[in-house]
Structure 1
Amino acid sequence: MFFIICLLILFYRIRLQWYLAYKQNLPNLNAEQIYHHLCCYEFPFECFYGINLAFYRTFVSPTISKDYRQTNTIAGETEKRVNDTDILMHAWVDYGLDSDEGQASIEHLNNIHGVFSNRTRNEDFVYVLCCFIVDTIRMIDVFGWRQLDNTEKQALFIFYEKVGQKMNLKNLPTSLEDVYILVNDYTNSDISATETESGSILTNAIHILVQKWYGLLLPASIIRILLNGLLYVVGGEMFHKKLGLKQPSSLTLYIIYALGTLHRDFMHFMPPRIVPHRLSDLLMKQNYMCPAGKSNFLQVGPPEILTSVEQKEKQ
């Protein structure tokens, strides 16, 4: 027991010294380097779920959820859709937006989005982009072993602002404050965000996928209850309501925050990661039997959408 306590104290001191060294070097890092550190070293769990929970946000948008429903890209092949999106998005963080991998990923994603250019509005894409920022910060607030400082939050904003520019989006927010205002206004509007049959079907499809991921640990009913509470905590009451979900009980919310506290305390005593967690490469090897790379990204996406992309490129 004494040995375990000493080991935990040692890990705590190592993590603290590691963080202090990073903090001291923070002014020398640009936005991409900061986000890479947060996502690949310090908060891989929180950043992963921040990005993936943000996709629930699209289900309250009638225009986006309708496209998803018509193409059957989520309800039909849920796990593939989630993995493909994570591959393309995490390539930006794992390797940098201007790297060969990052540029190839954005180009491929732009081609895929181009298939829906006549049906999805610019403001819908901007809304989703802003949700990646808001929900990642919120996930770290709840589950992270420490809070982000203003420099790190600003780095997330600058990173996704650059992503938006590379996606040729218009009317991007000019500050982090504007990002929160845009997400709040979009969600509160009954025109841009509302409960729909398509949204309910898509929400249920992702719920089933999460149950598959954690089915060996918890019963499906418990997973749904906890996921329901997590979406409420991260997304807020109005978003949660427009997903068509029942308001979680006080007990459920208490459990979510308790789990956040346990995770935060646990991570205080974990040694820092010294090898980057490059999710895009892991998922490419797992799903496509090849590493993340410029030419390999061309395989990523629903087959029928990829066919449309190829036809569009030939025109």
Structure 2
Amino acid sequence: MLPNRYQNLNRIQQLDPVTDHSQIYYLMSGYEFSWEMQRSLEVALMRTYCVPSISKLLDQTKEFHQRPQKRYDDTSILLVEIVKWGYESDRGQQALQRMNAIHGRFKIDNADFLYVLSTFIYDPIDWNANFGWRLMCEQEKLASFYFWREVGKRMHIENIPETYAEFEHYKLDYEKENFRYSDTNRRIGESTLALFLSWFPWWMRQPLKPIIYALLDETMLDAFGFQHPSPWLRSVMVKILKFRAKFIHWLPPRTQTNFYIDSPIRSYPNGYEIANVGSEVGF
């Protein structure tokens, strides 16, 4: 292992997860776990589609069915602008204003808002526990909580739990109560799955479908009405992701950020203005 492999971790461990949460989350997302964060947040967003009240609203807007790539890009842009530049920066505030304007067109239950917010915190942490090239330290876990808690306040989400443990319990209890199959879950899930597969050559898409299923847990598969993959395939996927983690462990640390908006974006090949991101009919 390279001697400077843990330089970012050493820096993070000297920071306060309460007062320095934006800086810690920036280092986590842009340098330490950029690929892992993006993949885990994709799974996190799919997890929210397992809730009929959420999938029903998304199904009604038609965005997932008519413009899935743009919908994916719009969501990613607004979230990453906040993460990269901070929620108090000009760009971060513009992204929050745009997000609030889009959400403001709909009557969204506060409990659903809380749940979506919770997935941004705990799904990446769970992914890291299973497939991270190193485990997140306590400062990183707490910084994730405090960062998204502050974002949630600026989204006018009410009754956000005061502690990391309380919010985690809320997430788990919410899933037990609200995860169940619905036709809108399945339609949104199928549209999202088709989007993911569209990123690969046509001849790879059908073989890749059960591989994506293998990344979803049993409760998600049931809520979507998707076929359960074989235990053998799940085992293979776990081994592949763990092998990747071991390989990444031996690479030098990143010297440049790797946020989603640092690379060309399919829906905006000529760039974008934050004020124009998102559909006029909503997410």
**TM-score of the pair, normalised by structure 1:** 0.83
Which residue among 191, 195, 215 is the counterpart of 1:205?
A: 191
2:182 partner amino acid = T
Within-5 A mapping of 1:85-164: 85-116=75-106, 118=107, 120-164=108-152
Within-5 A mapping of 1:160-171: 160-171=148-159
Which residue among 235, 240, 246 is the counterpart of 1:265?
A: 246
Aligned counterpart, 2:206: 221
Which residue among 12, 18, 21 is the counterpart of 2:7?
A: 18
Shift of residue 285, structure 1, vs aligned partner: 8.7
> Deviations for 1:34-89, whole angstroms, at most 9, x for unmatched residues?
11001000110111112221111221222221111111011211111001100000
Shift of residue 262, structure 1, vs aligned partner: 1.1
**TM-score of the pair, normalised by structure 2:** 0.92
| Percent identity between the two aligned chains | 28
Shift of residue 121, structure 1, vs aligned partner: 0.4
Q: How many angstroms apart in 2 are the aligned matches of 1:66 and 1:75?
A: 13
> Deviations for 1:109-163, whole angstroms, at most 9, x for unmatched residues?
00000001x2x20100110000111111122222211001222101100011001
What's the secondary structure of 1:148's corresponding residue?
Answer: coil
What's the secondary structure of 1:13's corresponding residue?
Answer: coil
* Structure 1: segments with no counterpart, 5+ residues: 1-11, 307-315
What's the secondary structure of 1:127's corresponding residue?
Answer: helix
Q: How many angstroms apart in 1 are the aligned matches of 2:138 and 2:14?
A: 15
Contact 2:4 2:252 (C-alpha < 8 Å) held by counterparts: yes
Contact 2:122 2:168 (C-alpha < 8 Å) held by counterparts: yes
Shift of residue 248, structure 1, vs aligned partner: 2.5
- CA 1:96–1:213 in structure 2 vs 1: closer, same or farther (change >3 Å)? same
Q: How many angstroms apart in 2 are the aligned matches of 1:280 and 1:270?
A: 23
> Deviations for 1:246-288, whole angstroms, at most 9, x for unmatched residues?
3322112211210121111110121211112232353569615
Q: How many angstroms apart in 2 are the aligned matches of 1:122 and 1:26?
A: 32
Residue 274 (structure 2) pairs with residue 297 (structure 1): yes
2:69 partner amino acid = E
1:287 partner amino acid = Y
Contact 2:36 2:127 (C-alpha < 8 Å) held by counterparts: yes
1:267 partner amino acid = I
Which residue among 260, 265, 271 is the counterpart of 1:279?
A: 260
| Higher RCO (CA-CA < 8 Å; seq separation 6+) | 2
* Structure 2: segments with no counterpart, 5+ residues: none
What's the secondary structure of 2:81's corresponding residue?
Answer: helix
What's the secondary structure of 1:194's corresponding residue?
Answer: coil
RMSD after superposition? 2.1
Contact 1:87 1:283 (C-alpha < 8 Å) held by counterparts: no
1:221 partner amino acid = Q
What's the secondary structure of 2:66's corresponding residue?
Answer: coil
What's the secondary structure of 2:2's corresponding residue?
Answer: helix
Contact 1:15 1:270 (C-alpha < 8 Å) held by counterparts: no
- CA 1:171–1:240 in structure 2 vs 1: closer, same or farther (change >3 Å)? farther
Aligned residue pairs, count = 282
Q: How many angstroms apart in 1 are the aligned matches of 2:211 and 2:4?
A: 30
- List 4+ stretches of structure 1 deviating above 3 A: 23-29, 281-286, 303-306
What's the secondary structure of 2:158's corresponding residue?
Answer: coil
- CA 1:113–1:257 in structure 2 vs 1: closer, same or farther (change >3 Å)? same
Q: How many angstroms apart in 1 are the aligned matches of 2:8 and 2:258?
A: 17
Residue 70 (structure 2) pairs with residue 70 (structure 1): no
- CA 1:241–1:285 in structure 2 vs 1: closer, same or farther (change >3 Å)? closer
Residue 215 (structure 2) pairs with residue 230 (structure 1): yes
Q: How many angstroms apart in 2 are the aligned matches of 1:85 and 1:27?
A: 29
- CA 1:304–1:288 in structure 2 vs 1: closer, same or farther (change >3 Å)? farther
